[in-house]
Amino acid sequence: MRIDKYLTQLKYTTRSQVKSFLKMHLVRDENAKITDPKSKINPYHIYIDDQKVFYKDEINLMIYKPKGYVCATIDNVYPSILTLLKQPYHRFDFKIAGRLDVDTTGLLILSTNGQFIHELTHPNKHVHKTYVATLDQVTKDIEKLLDGVMIKDDKQNIYKAKALYLNVEKQDVTITIDQGKYHQVKRMFKAVGCNVLQLKRIKIGNLTLNTLQKGEYKEIRREEIYD
């Protein structure tokens, strides 16, 4: 990789400012100072003003989404979930795997690798996602979710949404699905006469929130998600 691409990719400077950045800061590898913007570098061995630069080709994070954040990079009303990322992760461009509604809490996966996000969210992958929904009431029809209910997606197309697992503990219902359509869980419960008061995602594939607190995040390996 070239040093100019590296410095701009990690948001240290802009393309047009690379030259002056290299003049104003001591940018070096293990051996020598780097002054030419076109210099080829090893991204894992760069120091800026004697601080080692944190770099990884791919970073995957799990984050505990609190209420009030959106799963988009920009929004007019609410802050993006990405604003919770502090250094050194704030220098990387993360993509968000799937969407949780602004009032939904729980487990989300972020990755710098768009291809990985694509795979993870692809319907053919059938990645299991488990939610705990607090309902206003539990109707006897709730068991119908295991057979599947016909609901609408974001384009008003009707599809069959099915629970793979359902456990009712008074008004707290744990549900596992392997689809991931717009407002799917809320719409599934609505279809059997229940309103969701609170929704929290607790598991994606094999990955659980574990000891993570709201707003916290940590690095994960891809293998921690898949069976």
Under rule CB under 6 A, residue 101 binds ligand URA: yes
User: What is the smallest separation between the CB atom of 129 and ligand URA, expressed in angstroms?
Assistant: 8
Torsion angle, CA of 48/52/57/59, rounded to 10 degrees?
A: -120
User: What is the smallest separation between the CB atom of 98 and ligand URA, expressed in angstroms?
Assistant: 8
Q: How many residues bind to ligand URA according to rule CB under 6 A? A: 8
Which among 96, 74, 93, 84 is positioned nearest to 10, based on CA atoms? 93
Which among 128, 166, 126, 123 is positioned nearest to 144, based on CA atoms? 166
Residue 130 near residue 151, CB atoms below 8 Å: no
Query: What are the E-state strand segments in 79-169?
Result: 95-97, 105-111, 129-135, 149-152, 158-161, 165-169
Our CB check for ligand URA shows the closer of 94 and 189 to be: 189
Under rule CB under 6 A, residue 67 binds ligand URA: no
Under rule CB under 6 A, residue 199 binds ligand URA: yes
Under rule CB under 6 A, residue 104 binds ligand URA: yes
CA distance 50 to 89: 19
Under rule CB under 6 A, residue 186 binds ligand URA: yes
Instruction: With contacts defined by CB under 6 A, name the span among 75-83, 98-106, 115-123, 150-158 that binds ligand URA.
Output: 98-106
Under rule CB under 6 A, residue 194 binds ligand URA: no
Active site residue 153: no
Instruction: With contacts defined by CB under 6 A, name the span among 116-124, 134-142, 180-188, 214-222 that binds ligand URA.
Output: 180-188
Residue 150 near residue 158, CB atoms below 8 Å: yes
Instruction: With contacts defined by CB under 6 A, name the span among 20-28, 75-83, 179-187, 207-215 that binds ligand URA.
Output: 179-187
Neighbour tally for 83: CB within 10 Å: 12
Active site residue: 29, 101, 153, 172, which one?
A: 101
CA distance 17 to 57: 24
Under rule CB under 6 A, residue 105 binds ligand URA: no
Per the DSSP assignment, residues forming a β-bridge with 37 are: none
User: What is the smallest separation between the CB atom of 102 and ligand URA, expressed in angstroms?
Assistant: 8
Q: Which residues bind ligand URA (CB under 6 A)?
A: 100-101, 104, 183-186, 199
Give the catalytic positions in this structure.
101
